[in-house]
Amino acid sequence: MAGVSVQAFRRQGRRFGAGLVCSEMVSCAGIEHRNERTLGYLRVAADEHPLAIQIFGSEPAVMADAARLVVAAGADIVDINFGCPVRKVTKTGAGATLLEDGDRAVRIVEAVAGAVEVPVSVKMRRGLENGSRRALELGPQLVAAGAQTLTLHPRSAKQMYTGEADHSLTAELVSLVDVPVIASGDITSRAKAQAVLATTGAAAVMVGRAAQGNPWALKEILEGDGEQPTREEVVAELVLFMRETVRELGERRASGFLKKFYGWYLGRGRFPRAFKNELVVMHDLGEVEERLFAAAPGARFVLARIEQEQPVVDEVLLDDMPISIYGGG
């Protein structure tokens, strides 16, 4: 998820049981131009694997080069974005637009699958317009072109995130292709995951928004362990997330980036709303940490335990690129 799936989010997901995590979407043009911020998305820690790195773009050859580079950076799977509905992306002919540009979409998948040894997967929406069934036509063609997995988020691009994901389309897609299909959209609980798996025949479910500030949702989905985290656990996870994000993005970018996470962690009835409001206006992350610990002093011990259990991350350096997980920037 763009603006969400930073390394800290992915590592946390793995710790809470996710079988596979995915990067934010990464621009193949940004990779082509060795844009520093884009390359920053390619910092991979040892304990993230298996990891999919998602790329987006509209030029097959540029996508193929980008795929080679993300594999060099450590991707175990290259995922291609044919789902992004955001205008900044679609106006360049990338993301969901490719659902309606089938020839180009096929050429992109062929080029990427021909460029790398690792599996190539594609993430799609159902189509551009409401009610569209376009993904069902295109899906089999993408498999023939070399896609080894398809993920379907069965909303239209127009819908953005409104309405509901219509997983009857996921079931149809499963019946049309002989590769694993992953169901994405509104998987928020074990009951929902089980229902979608049972009614679609999908090989797996993908969890997005439900895990934002709430890795405990992954445990519940996997194990049925619906126990709510204590305040100490919530604060410990948030502080760890903050520290890792600072290391990844640098203090200045992290402090803006993190604001939306305060609500995600502290909401859900865990803390009074006024507490979150207090944190979002603080400029200094050290101050935010102190305030969090003051609200749940035992969190220091929980955090120490998590840090002890978590392996130290390796630094990843590519031959000719300034990529390091300690890079900041």
Ligand X SMILES: Cc1cc2nc3c(=O)[nH]c(=O)nc-3n(C[C@H](O)[C@H](O)[C@H](O)COP(=O)(O)O)c2cc1C
The Cα angle at residue 252 between residues 248 and 256, in degrees rounded to 5: 95
Contact 22, 55 (CB under 8 A): no
Identify which of residues 4 and 197 has a Cβ nearer to ligand X in the complex: 4
Nearer to ligand X, 4 or 61 (CB): 4
CB of 47 to ligand X, least distance (A): 22
Please give the Cα distance from 317 to 207 (Å, whole number).
Answer: 30
Q: Which one, 58 or 296, has the nearer CB to ligand X?
A: 58
- How far, in Å, CA of 97 to CA of 315, rounded? 37
Catalytic residue among 84, 96, 143, 202: 84
Compute the distance between CA of residue 60 and CA of residue 70 in angstroms, rounded to an integer.
Answer: 15
Residue 162 engages ligand X in binding (rule: CB under 6 A): no
Indicate the residue among 110 and 186 with the shorter CB distance to ligand X: 186
CB of 282 to ligand X, least distance (A): 23
Using CB under 6 A, pick the residue from 12, 54, 90, 214 that binds ligand X: 54
Q: How far apart are CA 180 and CA 103, in angstroms?
A: 23
Q: Residue 28 catalytic? A: no
Does the protein bind ligand X through residue 2 (CB under 6 A)?
Answer: yes
Among residues 320, 226, 238, 309, which one has the least CA distance to residue 279? 238
83 binds ligand X (CB under 6 A): yes
**CA distances in angstroms from 42 to 25, 96, 161, 279, 323, listed in the order given:** 10, 23, 27, 30, 7
Binds ligand X (CB under 6 A): choice among 15, 24, 101, 104:
24
Is residue 209 involved in binding ligand X (CB under 6 A)? yes
Tell me: does residue 81 bind ligand X (CB under 6 A). Answer: yes
Shortest distance, position 39 Cβ to ligand X, whole Å: 17
Nearest approach, Cβ of residue 55 and ligand X (Å): 10
Interacting residue with ligand X among 67, 210, 258, 325 (CB under 6 A): 210
* 13 near ligand X, rule: CB under 6 A: no
Minimum CB distance to ligand X, residue 208 (Å): 3
Residue with the CB atom nearest ligand X in the bound state: 208
**Closest distance of CB 323 from ligand X, Å:** 20
Query: Which residues lie across from 56 on neighbouring strands?
Result: 27
**Alpha carbon distance 5, 204 (integer Å):** 19
Give the residue, chosen from 4, 29, 46, 306, that forms a contact with ligand X under the rule CB under 6 A: 4
Binding of ligand X at residue 158 (CB under 6 A)? no
Is 60 an interacting residue with respect to ligand X (CB under 6 A)? no
Using CB under 6 A, pick the residue from 123, 126, 167, 219 that binds ligand X: 123
Q: Does 245 bind ligand X (CB under 6 A)?
A: no
In this structure, how many other beta carbons lie within 10 angstroms of the beta carbon of residue 287? 11
Nearer Cβ to ligand X (127/185): 185
CB 192 within 8 A of CB 181: no
Whether the Cβ atoms of residue 115 and residue 65 lie closer than 8 Å to each other: yes
Which ranges constitute the DSSP H helices of the chain? 7-15, 28-32, 36-40, 60-73, 87-90, 102-115, 134-144, 168-176, 190-200, 216-223, 231-249, 251-257, 259-266, 273-280, 285-295, 299-309
Comparing CB distances to ligand X, the nearer of 207 and 236 is 207
The tokens for 61 are 């050859």
Least separation in angstroms between residue 108's CB and ligand X is: 15
Return the SS3 of 20: coil
Binding site for ligand X (CB under 6 A): 1-4, 24-25, 54, 81, 83-84, 123, 153, 184-187, 207-210
Active site residues: 84
